[in-house]
């Protein structure tokens, strides 16, 4: 499934970059192959426009933001947060402006990121109750470009069968290649999954897991948010919850921007932000190496290729089914008579 060819996917929200990174000026971003510019508008909220000036198509991201308006760096044409042209510096004060606007996109801040939807959203940005729950802290771990399909990233998130192999150097136990049973329940937004997984607990993970035992368990209560968001809610026997949120934002057919936010119900003195970033970075790099070796044309139509060769593939199969239903519903895939 080449994501840029599925127009229905443009009707969802995607995390782009931290809002704090926009405070020093406009930034370019590519979403589904669309070149956009992100900046902070006059209302203090992020705004997103097509990264083209209406005059001679110069990139607005190469300009500047003054009083919440973005000014083209070529001839100074000025636009507000809705894309409306509000000033041409070469015009006299009483000369009427042409009624033109730069194409605008829906944009809002959530969880410290600027989220963009290229078309009327079919669903809200995923709700993360831990973001406002007492006792939890939010840690922005990273946002980075990966060369893989967003569906592959989502599948991998719920695939316990790869732990013993991909993560054998960190928490995976090579003596237990068979994953525990997943309990899956479909929801209107995707599905919820629950399982308990025994894992290795090396010394560098003691403060992560809250125990010095050589083995421990992960009680995982995970959620998939159609199409490309998920939460990995890990609870350890120590009572520590390590909750990872990811958004696999499609840049083009061969790459995504992976956003990762972590929530923990402990304190900085219990386990420092840097320890948490370093531990998850090693695990993420293990995933990245194998995912970037896969074909970015991750199929959705399960009739084209049989991949359901073991029980742990069930989450991916449900994802394909739900995406196929979505594409069919909106007329992007013809259903045989």
> pLDDT tens for residues 54-96?
999 999 999 999 999 999 999 999 999 999 999 999 999 889 9
Residues sharing a CB contact under 8 Å with residue 270, sequence separation 6 or more, in sequence order = 207, 210
What is the reported pTM? 0.91
pLDDT at residue 335, as a whole number:
45
- Map residue 194 onto helix, strand or coil: strand
Q: Where are the alpha helices (DSSP H) in 158-261?
A: 163-166, 206-209
pLDDT at 336 over 60: no
Find out whether 59 and 46 touch, Cβ atoms under 8 Å.
no
Residues sharing a CB contact under 8 Å with residue 206, sequence separation 6 or more, in sequence order = 212
Domain spanning 129-327: CATH superfamily: Naphthalene 1,2-dioxygenase Alpha Subunit; Chain A, domain 1 (3.90.380.10)
Place of tokens 């500047």: 64
Residues sharing a CB contact under 8 Å with residue 5, sequence separation 6 or more, in sequence order = 253
Residue spans per domain, the chain? 3-117, 129-327
Domain spanning 3-117: CATH superfamily: Rieske [2Fe-2S] iron-sulphur domain (2.102.10.10)
DSSP 56: T
> pLDDT tens for residues 19-59?
999 999 999 999 999 999 999 999 999 999 999 999 999 99
Name the pLDDT band for 310 (thresholds 50, 70, 90).
low
Percent of the chain with pLDDT over 70: 93
E-only strand ranges, 121-214:
137-146, 183-186, 190-200
Task: Residue 104: count other Cβ atoms within 10 Å of its Cβ.
Answer: 17
Flag the least confident range among 129-133, 183-187, 300-304: 300-304
């Amino acid at each position: 499934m080449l994501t840029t060819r599925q127009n229905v996917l443009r009707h969802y929200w995607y995390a782009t970059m931290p809002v704090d990174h926009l405070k020093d000026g406009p930034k370019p971003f590519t979403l589904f192959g669309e070149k956009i510019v992100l900046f902070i508008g006059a209302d203090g909220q992020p705004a997103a426009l097509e990264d083209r000036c209406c005059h001679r198509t110069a990139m607005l991201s190469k300009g500047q933001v003054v009083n919440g308006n973005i000014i083209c760096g070529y001839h100074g044409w000025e636009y507000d947060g809705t894309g409306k042209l509000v000033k041409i510096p070469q015009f006299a004060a009483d000369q009427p402006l042409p009624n033109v606007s730069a194409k605008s996109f829906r944009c809002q801040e959530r969880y410290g990121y600027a989220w963009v939807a290229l078309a009327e959203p079919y669903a809200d940005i995923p709700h993360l109750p831990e973001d406002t729950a007492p006792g939890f802290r939010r840690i922005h771990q990273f946002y980075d470009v990966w060369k893989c399909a967003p569906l592959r990233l989502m599948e991998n998130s719920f695939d316990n069968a790869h732990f013993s192999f991909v993560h054998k150097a960190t928490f995976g136990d090579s003596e237990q290649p068979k994953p525990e049973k997943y309990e899956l329940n479909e929801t209107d937004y995707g599905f919820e999954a629950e399982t308990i997984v025994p894992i290795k607990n090396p010394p560098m993970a003691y403060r992560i897991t809250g125990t010095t035992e050589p083995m421990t368990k992960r009680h995982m209560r995970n959620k998939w948010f159609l199409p490309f968001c998920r939460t990995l809610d890990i609870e350890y026997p120590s009572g520590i919850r390590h909750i990872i949120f990811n958004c696999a934002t499609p840049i083009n057919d061969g790459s995504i921007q992976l956003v990762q936010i972590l929530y923990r119900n402990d304190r900085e003195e219990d386990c420092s932000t840097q320890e948490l970033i370093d531990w998850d970075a090693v695990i993420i790099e293990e995933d990245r190496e194998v995912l970037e070796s896969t074909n970015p044309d991750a199929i959705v139509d399960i009739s084209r290729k049989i991949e359901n060769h073991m029980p742990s593939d069930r989450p991916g199969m449900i994802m394909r089914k739900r995406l196929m239903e979505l594409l069919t519903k909106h007329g992007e895939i013809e259903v045989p008579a």
